Amino acid sequence: MNLIRQAKRWKATPVAQRRLVLEAAAMLTVSRLLVAFGLRWSLGWFLRESPTTARIPNAAVRTQVRRAVLIAVRHVPWASLCLPNAMAARLMLARRGYASTLHLGVGLRERKLLHAHAWLESGGAIVTGHKGMEAVVPLPLAR
């Protein structure tokens, strides 16, 4: 898609959705930096249970966050994989007071290579990381 077409498409996008996509890009940046430089320090927060006072998001909120993250992933200048995507979505939901749980799993790929995957669940539904879940076994993490 050429730049002019992209600019027209962006301009036609509702302002609320543009804000969500920009927020998702910012959260992907934060997540990427945390993964690169401070994962040991920050992973504890991402893996802990949401506060009991946190609300459960409805399907519309989960869809909006998922869509914003997926759009932002296509436009950031780096390859954003499952862990930063799940972290970004968790940050976005937490900012709004919604509960979510980040899951990690491992599995074996062909030639017995270890494969890791992360996904975010909220309200009994997967927000990010749908693809790849079937190939891993969730890790039982001490929370």
Q: Give the chain's domain count.
A: 1
pLDDT at 1: 57
In this prediction the pTM is 0.87
Residue 85 covered by a domain:
yes
Q: Which domain holds residue 59?
A: 3-99
Higher pLDDT pick, 96 / 3: 96
Residue 136 covered by a domain:
no
Residue 127 covered by a domain:
no
Binning the chain into helix, strand and coil, the percentages to the nearest 5 are 55, 15, 25
pLDDT at 142: 54
Rg value, the chain, Cα: 16
Residue 119 covered by a domain:
no
Residue 107 covered by a domain:
no
Q: Which two tokens stand for residue 55?
A: 């609300």
Residue 126 covered by a domain:
no
pLDDT at 93: 95
Residue 123 covered by a domain:
no
pLDDT at 143: 53
Q: Count how many Cα atoms sit within 13 Å of the Cα of residue 48 in the half-sphere of its side chain.
A: 11
Contact 65, 21 (CB under 8 A): no
106-137 tens-digit pLDDT: 998 777 888 889 999 999 999 999 888 888 88
Residue 42 covered by a domain:
yes
5-64 tens-digit pLDDT: 878 888 888 888 899 999 999 999 999 888 888 777 777 778 787 776 778 889 999 999
